[in-house]
A and B are shown apart, each in its own frame.
Chain A
Amino acid sequence: MGPESGPSNAGEPLIEVTDLKKLFPVKKGVFGRVVGHVHAVDGVSLSVMRGETLGLVGESGCGKTTVGRAILRLVEPTDGKVVFNGQDVLGLHPGQLRAIRKRMQIVFQDPYSSLDPRMTIERIVGEGFAVHGSPKGSKDPNVAKRERIHELIEQVGLSHDHLSRLPHEFSGGQRQRIALARALALDPDFIVLDEPTSALDVSVQAQALNLLKRLQSKLGLSYLFISHDLSVVGHMSDRIAVMYLGKIVELAPADVFLRHALHPYTQALIASIPMPDPKMRKDRKGIEGEVPSPTNPPKGCRFHPRCPKAFADCGWNAGDLADWLKANGQTDQDGVVAKDAAKVREDGFVLGFWLRAGSEPLALLKFLREVTTRSKAEVPMFQAVQAIDTLIGNRVIELRCMPLRADRHGGKSKSGGKKLPSKLVADKVYHAIVDSYTSDSSHNLGRLLLPPEVKGSRVYVRVIGPEANWDTLRTSLRAFFEKRKAAGERFAGSVKGFSIRKAKGPKLSVVVKFKPVEEPPTYDLGGGHMVSCLLCKHGEPPAP
Chain B
Amino acid sequence: MNGKKPVLEIKGLRTQFFLREGVVTALDGIDLTIYENESVGIVGETGCGKSMTAYSILRLVPHPGRITAGSIKYKGNELTTLDIDRMRSVRGTKISMIFQDASTALDPVFTVRDQLGEVISLHQGIYDKAALDKKILEALELVRIAAPRDVMRMYPHELSGGMKQRVMISLALSCSPSLLIADEPTTALDVTIQGQILKLLKALVAKTGSSMMLITHNLGIVAETCDRICVMYAGRIVEDAETFELFANPRHPYTAGLLVAFPKLGEKKAELPVIRGTVPDLMNPFKGCPFVDRCDKALEVCSKQRPSRVAVSPGHFVSCHLWSGGG
Contact = CB atoms under 8 A, between A and B. Distances in A.
A114 interface: no
B146 A326 contact: yes
Interface stretch (A8-16, A95-103, A276-284, A353-361): A276-284
Contacts of A290: 160, 162-163, 193
A290 B46 CA distance: 29
Contacts of A277: 223, 247, 264
Nearest to A207: B274
Interface residues of B, number: 50
Given A213-B270, A231-B262, A286 B195 contact: yes
B265 A234 contact: yes
A202 B199 contact: no
A235 B272 contact: yes
A173 interface: yes
B272 A272 contact: no
Interface in A277-302: 277-279, 281, 284, 286-288, 290-291
B198 A274 contact: yes
A18 interface: no
Contact of B269 (A228, A235, A333): A235
A201 B262 CA distance: 10
Contacts, number: 139
B315 interface: no
Most-contacted residue by chain B among A210, A272, A273, A278 (CB, 10 A):
A278
A171 B278 contact: yes
B194 interface: yes
Contacts of A475: none
Interface string B181-214: 0000000001111111011000000000000000
Interface stretch (B76-84, B99-107, B167-175, B253-261): B253-261
A203 B275 contact: yes
Interface in A226-284: 228-232, 234-235, 254-255, 258-259, 268-279, 281, 284
A275 B261 contact: no
B261 A274 contact: no
B128 interface: no
Contacts of B91: none
B218 interface: yes
B149 interface: yes
A290 B193 CA distance: 7
Interface string B266-279: 11111111111011
B94 interface: no
B278 A204 contact: yes
A372 interface: no
B146 A210 contact: no
A287 B193 CA distance: 8
B192 A286 contact: yes
B244 interface: yes
Contacts of A187: none
A209 interface: yes
Given A210-B274, A228-B191, A281-B223, A275 B149 contact: no
Contact of B190 (A59, A259, A275, A278): A59
Contacts of A327: 146-147
Contacts of B301: none
A60 interface: yes
Contacts of B279: 171, 201
Interface residues of A, number: 51
B221 to A, nearest CB: 5
A302 B297 CA distance: 52
Contact of A201 (B46, B243, B264): B46
Contacts of A174: 278
A476 interface: no
Nearest to B199: A284
A424 interface: no
Contacts of B225: 274
B9 interface: no
Interface string A61-98: 00000000000000000000000000000000000000
Given A204-B278, A206-B272, A286-B195, A278 B247 contact: yes
Interface in B266-311: 266-276, 278-279
A274 B223 contact: yes
Contacts of B271: 210, 213-214
B224 interface: yes
A59 B261 CA distance: 23
Contacts of A272: 191-192, 194-195
Interface string A188-211: 000000000000011111110110
Nearest to B191: A272
Contacts of B162: 290
Given A272-B194, A290-B193, A278 B224 contact: yes
Interface in B236-263: 243-244, 247, 257-259, 261-263
Most-contacted residue by chain A among B224, B259, B270, B275 (CB, 10 A):
B224
Nearest to A274: B220
Given A269-B192, A286-B195, A202 B223 contact: no
Contacts of B263: 206, 209, 231-232, 234-235
A225 to B, nearest CB: 12
A332 interface: yes
A202 B146 contact: no
Contacts of B66: none
Nearest to A327: B146
Nearest to B221: A274
A178 to B, nearest CB: 14
A138 to B, nearest CB: 37
Given A213-B270, A213-B271, A286-B192, A202 B219 contact: yes
A230 B275 contact: no
Nearest to A230: B265
A276 B259 contact: yes
Contacts of A232: 263
B262 to A, nearest CB: 5
Interface string A491-532: 000000000000000000000000000000000000000000
Given A209-B263, A287-B192, 14 more contacts: A174-B278, A202-B258, A203-B45, A204-B45, A204-B278, A232-B263, A234-B263, A258-B266, A269-B191, A272-B194, A273-B220, A274-B221, A290-B162, A327-B146
Interface of A: 59-60, 171, 173-174, 201-207, 209-210, 213-214, 228-232, 234-235, 254-255, 258-259, 268-279, 281, 284, 286-288, 290-291, 326-327, 329, 332-333
Interface of B: 45-46, 146-147, 149-150, 160, 162-163, 190-196, 198-199, 217-221, 223-225, 243-244, 247, 257-259, 261-276, 278-279
21 contacts: A59-B193, A174-B278, A201-B217, A206-B263, A206-B274, A206-B275, A207-B276, A210-B274, A229-B191, A230-B191, A234-B265, A258-B265, A259-B266, A272-B192, A274-B194, A276-B220, A276-B259, A277-B223, A277-B264, A281-B224, A286-B195
Q: Closest 5 CB pairs between A and B?
A: A274-B220, A235-B263, A286-B195, A59-B190, A272-B195
